[in-house]
Structure 1
Amino acid sequence: MLKKERAAYVLQRLQKEYPEPPIPLDHKDPYTLLVAVLLSAQCTDERVNQVTPALWELADNPYDMAKQTVEDIKAIIRPCGLSPQKSKAISKLSQILIEEHDGEVPADMDALEKLPGVGHKTAGVVMAQAFDVPSFPVDTHIHRLAQRWGLTNGQNVAQTEKDLKRLFPEDAWNALHLQIIYWGREFCSARGCDGTVCEICRTCYPKRKNPKITLKA
């Protein structure tokens, strides 16, 4: 298979498996999504969804969140890990949203990336899932699968994002980002598949005998 053929197969297979992929993080508006995505760094979505109901009870908008102490925020989000940094970021970004954006989450990548604790991937997720703006957030899991499927040889997530955007139509990006994540969790996890086990790996590389060594992001 050529790379374009692999990409076409991956798109078709994932659209068939996950025609309408749900957003994995529970939220009710752009602000709660932004905070949930921030919390998901080095933490599972499942754990975040267990923690956020108590956080939203404390404050579910920037105005109320800015009134809370960092310690109170940290006490709730501790199970997500990195709570000292994340609690400070949530407090500060809430203040910035009030002071610079009238309390609204900006639908702008550059503005989002300037917020504390919000990197390129987090901003991309918010743009895609809150505002339906074509984006292709690439995390370490998507980076790994894209290498296994021969869609990139990128040394990092930034290069992988560029390669995937070139390979797939823009109107597929937002769903495909989620579809790849779901496939990875179900069929092509870090330990469950080594590039020779899951259906997509075997179809893209039917003659591959040895595990695919992937470059870490």
Structure 2
Amino acid sequence: MPFTEQQLIERLKKHFPKPWIDLNFENPYQLLVVTILAAQTTDKKVNEISPEFFKKFPTPYSVAQAPLEEIEQAIKSVNYYRRKAKLIKECCEYLVKEFNGEVPDTLEELVKLPGVGRKTASVILVNAFNKPAIVVDTHVKRVSQRLGLTKSNNPDKIEKDLAKFFSKENWVYISKALVLFGRYICKAKNPECKKCHLADICPYDKKNL
């Protein structure tokens, strides 16, 4: 490895000293819903429709009791809205039945929710509860491969590789920062290598310099 954890984080912090999430939310329930909505849809689009959705459905109870058609109607401008409406309804029904309408704060419990895999569960742990988890989305996958942190394409294996390299106290930071880094700097096409504070330690052989 051409760099240490400390060197990598120091450089990431030059780009994102206080990383954020691009989805707007006010509580764990809202983050759960917008994360489900954001699959194969832009965060911008989700942020446009979510305020109206949460006015109509302020709690998991309100979603659980609503007819599926009403939920579909509220999200119909996002991709795959029928499937997402079904998942959101099933998810909220499960929350009401098993967790008194509260979003749980452990990975083991979160992945029991319909429509919630490890990635979504990790997004909720990190961003709603500030608990250590490793988010592996398309951005994190690409960045991890380019930096030589993993050779795998499998998200579970990538998560394990990152968990080995980064100490647990840094998981919340890197989960937010690597997503932003992949989205705004280390893009899939035309990465911004000239602006990148990691360029001097990055082993990627197709740098855009």
**Structure 1 position 205, deviation (Å):** 4.1
Cα displacement (A) at 1:7: 3.8
Query: 1:140: Cα distance to partner?
Result: 1.3
Identity %: 34
Asked if the contact 1:6/1:151 (under 8 Å) is kept, the reply is no
CA contact (8 A) 2:137 2:179 kept: no
Q: In structure 2, what is the equivalent of residue 199 of structure 1? A: 196
What is the match of residue 169 of structure 1?
A: 167
Matched with 1:114 is 112
| Deviation of 1:37 (Å) | 0.9
1:158 aligns with 2:159: no
Alignment map for 1:19-30 (pairs within 5 Å): 19-30=17-28
Q: Which amino acid aligns with 2:196?
A: E
Query: Does 2:64 align with 1:66?
Result: yes
Q: Give the aligned residue type for 1:199.
A: C
In structure 2, stretches of 5+ residues that fail to align are none
Partner-residue secondary structure (3-state), 1:107: coil
Q: Which among 54, 66, 75 is matched to residue 77 of structure 1?
A: 75
Shift of 1:158: 1.1
**Aligned 1:1-217 pairs, distance under 5 A:** 2-3=1-2, 5=3, 7-193=5-191, 199=196, 202-205=199-202, 208=205, 210=206
The number of aligned residues is 208
Displacement, 1:83?
A: 0.9
- Alignment partner of 1:105: what SS? coil
Q: What is the CA–CA distance in structure 2 between the aligned matches of 1:207 and 1:64, rounded to whole Å?
A: 49
Distance 2:130 2:198 in 1: 30
Task: Say whether the 8 Å CA contact 1:74–1:87 is kept in structure 2.
Answer: yes
Deviation >6 Å, runs of 4+: none
TM-score, normalising length: structure 1: 0.88
**1:19, 1:125 → 2: CA distance?**
19
Look up the equivalent residue of 1:140 and give its one-letter code. Answer: T
SS in 2 for 1:92: helix
Write the deviation string for residues 66-92 of structure 1: whole angstroms up to 9, x where unpaired: 121111111221222111111011111
Q: CA deviation at 1:55?
A: 0.6
Task: Quote the offset at 1:8 in angstroms.
Answer: 3.3
Q: Which amino acid aligns with 1:49?
A: N
SS in structure 2 at match of 1:143 = helix
Distance 1:207 1:149, change over 3 A: closer
1:128 and 1:207 mapped to 2: Cα distance?
28
Q: Which amino acid aligns with 2:182?
A: G
Could you report, residue by residue, the CA deviation over 1:102-128 in whole angstroms, capped at 9, with x for unpaired residues? 111111212211111111100111111
Please tell me the root mean square deviation across aligned C-alpha atoms, in Å: 2.1
- Name structure 1 gaps, 5 residues minimum: 213-217
Residues in 2 aligned to 1:46 and 1:12: alpha-carbon distance in whole angstroms: 29
Deviation at 1:6, TM superposition (A): 5.2
The answer to whether the Cα contact below 8 Å between 1:6 and 1:150 also exists between their aligned partners in 2 is no
**What TM-score do the two structures reach when normalised by structure 2?**
0.91
**Conserved in 2, the CA contact under 8 Å of 1:93 and 1:116?**
yes
Return closer, same or farther for 1:198/1:33 CA change in 2, 3 Å cut-off. Answer: same
Q: How far 1:23 sits from its partner (Å)? A: 2.6
User: Letter of the aligned partner of 1:138 in structure 2?
Assistant: V
1:110 alignment partner, SS class: helix
